[in-house]
Amino acid sequence: MIRVAIVDDDQSFCGFMERCVEEYAAGTGTAVETEVFLSGEDFFAHKQAHDDFDMVMLDIELSGMNGIEVGENLRRSNRDRQTQILYVSAKENYALDLFRNRPFDFIIKPVSKERVFRALREYINEYYTVSNFFEYTLDRKKHSISASQILYLQSNRKKLIVVTTTGSMEIYDKLDDVLQTETGRNLLRIHRCYAVNPEHIAQFSFDEIVMDNGERLSISRSLRQSVRERLLLTAHSRMLERSADQ
């Protein structure tokens, strides 16, 4: 599911943008959830108590904290999960101010439905695929995080500990089930209770893996050969990619 925040102090414009997103979602079969905020302050108050959004449709000329300040604060507090910013403005002369906030698109008001559709289509094509996000249920709500944030998964009886670049959380899920998903297929099982993200492996030996946060995880005896072969193959592929780029 793609979670979209719409931040604008014009309530009627927020309603228009929300309808555009919902119409696009219905027409393409994309699971999208929207949340409207009438100020940057309201957006951040909500963000402190909830997961981050995948995309923020953000007006620049907000009263109070303006859109540029919202973007700067979002980037400072959201370094690992790369929430994409779609700026909306009645003025065009913001290019240099927006550059440091790395928006993925910029729309000039008045906004057409077709222009919003194009932005959503480009976002999905460039940033969002099933394998890029790990979706889970916590406190009876659906959430998602970037799969690149996951360091490893640890099975703990009926629960699954998800260790990420920003911390860890416990959810009700089975490691075997997650490994059958698009996200899980990119993970490497090293033990009955552990599956790691190869992108976050700093070092490995025959019987141990060191993650880039310094944690050491043991490789089970029965999986040592297959883990070693997978990691050597991955390292070889990366080396070939770097050679091709030079």
What is the value of pTM for the model shown?
Answer: 0.58
Domains 2-128 and 132-245 share a fold: no
Q: Which two tokens stand for residue 231?
A: 């990691």
The tens-digit pLDDT sequence of the chain (246 residues) is 788 999 999 999 999 999 999 999 999 888 899 999 999 999 988 887 776 788 999 999 998 899 989 988 887 765 445 688 999 988 877 655 666 677 888 898 999 999 999 999 988 887 766 557 788 888 888 777 878 889 999 999 889 999 998 889 999 999 999 999 888 888 999 999 999 998 888 888 889 999 989 999 999 999 999 998 888 776 545 544 444 444
In this structure, which topology does domain 132-245 adopt according to CATH? Answer: OB fold (Dihydrolipoamide Acetyltransferase, E2P) (2.40.50)
The domain 2-128 is classified under which CATH number: 2.60.40.1190, 3.40.309.10, 3.40.50.2300, 3.40.630.30? 3.40.50.2300
* 85 alpha-carbon distance from chain centroid: 13
User: Could you state, in order of their start, the residue ranges of all structural domains in the chain?
Assistant: 2-128, 132-245
CA trace torsion 2, 116, 126, 195 (10° rounding): 0
